[in-house]
Chains A and B, each alone.
Chain A
C-alpha cells in the first residue's frame, strides 16, 4: 500500500515537472508543439483522474514560477497571456469530458422518464384491465352459482371473498406502483400511503417525520418516491429490520431526507454491495439521484442497520410554486 502511494506521489511530481517544462517551452516561443504538449498533458490528467481543482492549483503554481522571472511589466503581461493560452489548451480534454457528462445526465433523465411512463402503463393495466377481468369472473361465477343447490352456493361465496381479496391487493399494488396521490398531494403523502401498506404487509413499523410542506417539481418528487420505495422494499425484504425511520427536512436550499433501519446491515464500503441484487438497487438509486443533481450516501455496517442520506439542491427549476402545498 505504501509503495503504491509513494508511486502515485512520484507520478504526480513527474506530471507537475512536465507541465512546468511545457509551459516554459510555450512561453519561450514553443508555439504549436508546446500547445500540443499542453493538450496531451490534459488528456493524460483526465485519464489519471486528476481533479479539476488539482489541475487549477497545479497551473497556478506553474504560472507563479513562470512570471517570477519577468524583467519588465511588458514581459509579465506576455507571460500571463501565454500561460492563459496554455491552460485553456490543457483544459480542452476536460471540456470534452464535461460535455460527455452533460449528455449522459440528459440521457439518464430521459431514461427515467421513459421508465415512469412504462410504470404508469403497467399500473393502469393492473388497476383497470385486470380489474375489469375480475368483474367478468364475478359475473360468470354468479351465473353458475345461481343454478346450483344452496350448500354448494356457500362454497362459491368463499371463492368470491378470495376474488375480492385479489382485487383489493391489485388495486393497492397499482396505487403503490404509481400513486395518484403523488401527483395530487405530493411525495410526503404518497410515502405515507406507501409506508402504511408496507407496514401492514411486512409488520414493520415505519415512522415518518417531515417539516417540508411545499411541493417540488414532478421529477424530484418522483425520484424521492422511487428511492424511498426501493429503500423500504430493501428494509422489509432483506434487512430483517424491526423499525424504519424516515425524516425529511430542508437546509437552506437543499432538501435532505434520511431513511434509517435497525436491520442487519451490510458492509457499505465493501465491493459486495455492488455485486449482488441489492447493490444493483443501490446503483440505480444513485443514478436516479445524480440525474437531478443530488447525492446519496449510504452508511451501513453488518449488525448496525442501514442509513441512506439524500441531498437534493432545490434551485429554481426544482421548486414548483404553481402547485398547492401538500
Chain B
C-alpha cells in the first residue's frame, strides 16, 4: 500500500469540503475506521476553517506515514497569514469563541495523537497533526 502526498489549496469554504473529502478518502485507504475517518475530517475542517478565517488562504497537505509497526496519517495546515502572537494562549480553551466550546485548535489537539505548531507574528502558521490507526 502506498499513499502519496496530497495538497489542497484553501481559499474558500468549497476548498474545505475538498480537503475533508481527500482526507477521508486517504484515511479509509490507510485502513482507518469510519469513526476515526470522521474525526480526521473534523480536524481538517477546524484547521482549514482557521486558515479561511485568519489567513484567508493557505494549504492543507495530507500524507500517509508508515512506521515500523503502525500506520498513520499526517495533516499539515500552513498559511502565510498574520501568525499567532501567543501560541500557548491560542491552545488554551476559551481563548476564542470556538475554543470556549472545546473546538478550534485545542479541539484538534484532542482528536489527534500528535500535535505540533509553529507560528510567528507576520510569518504565517504551520500546524502539523498526526493520528495513528488503532
Contacts and interface: CB of A to CB of B under 8 A. Distances in A.
A152 to B, nearest CB: 64
A31, A93, A98, A103 interface centre (most CB from chain B within 10 Å)? A93
A43 B13 CA distance: 15
B103 interface: yes
A52 interface: no
The size bracket of the interface on A is: 20 to 34
Contacts of A98: 102
B101 A47 contact: yes
A90 B61 CA distance: 24
Contacts of A32: 17-18, 20-21, 24
B41 A35 contact: yes
A89 interface: yes
B24 A39 contact: no
Contacts of B18: 32
Contacts of A43: 103
Given A35-B41, A36-B17, A95-B39, A85 B103 contact: no
Interface residues of B, number: 23
Interface in A92-124: 92-93, 95-101, 103-104
Contacts, number: 68
Contacts of B7: none
Interface string B77-116: 0000000000000000100000001110011101100000
B46, B101, B107 interface centre (most CB from chain A within 10 Å)? B101
Contacts of A100: 93, 101-102, 106-107, 110
A85 B81 CA distance: 34
Given A33-B17, A36-B16, A88-B35, A96 B107 contact: yes
A248 interface: no
B94 to A, nearest CB: 10
A181 interface: no
A89 B45 CA distance: 11
Interface in A200-214: none
Nearest to A102: B110
Given A96-B102, A100-B110, 18 more contacts: A32-B20, A32-B24, A35-B20, A35-B41, A88-B34, A88-B35, A93-B103, A95-B39, A96-B42, A96-B101, A96-B107, A96-B108, A96-B111, A97-B102, A99-B111, A100-B102, A100-B107, A101-B102
Interface of A: 31-33, 35-36, 39, 43, 46-47, 85, 88-89, 92-93, 95-101, 103-104
9 contacts: A32-B20, A32-B24, A39-B41, A47-B101, A92-B42, A93-B101, A96-B102, A96-B110, A100-B110
Nearest 3 interchain pairs by C-beta: A100-B102, A32-B21, A96-B107
Interface of B: 16-18, 20-21, 24, 34-35, 38-39, 41-42, 45-46, 93, 101-103, 106-108, 110-111
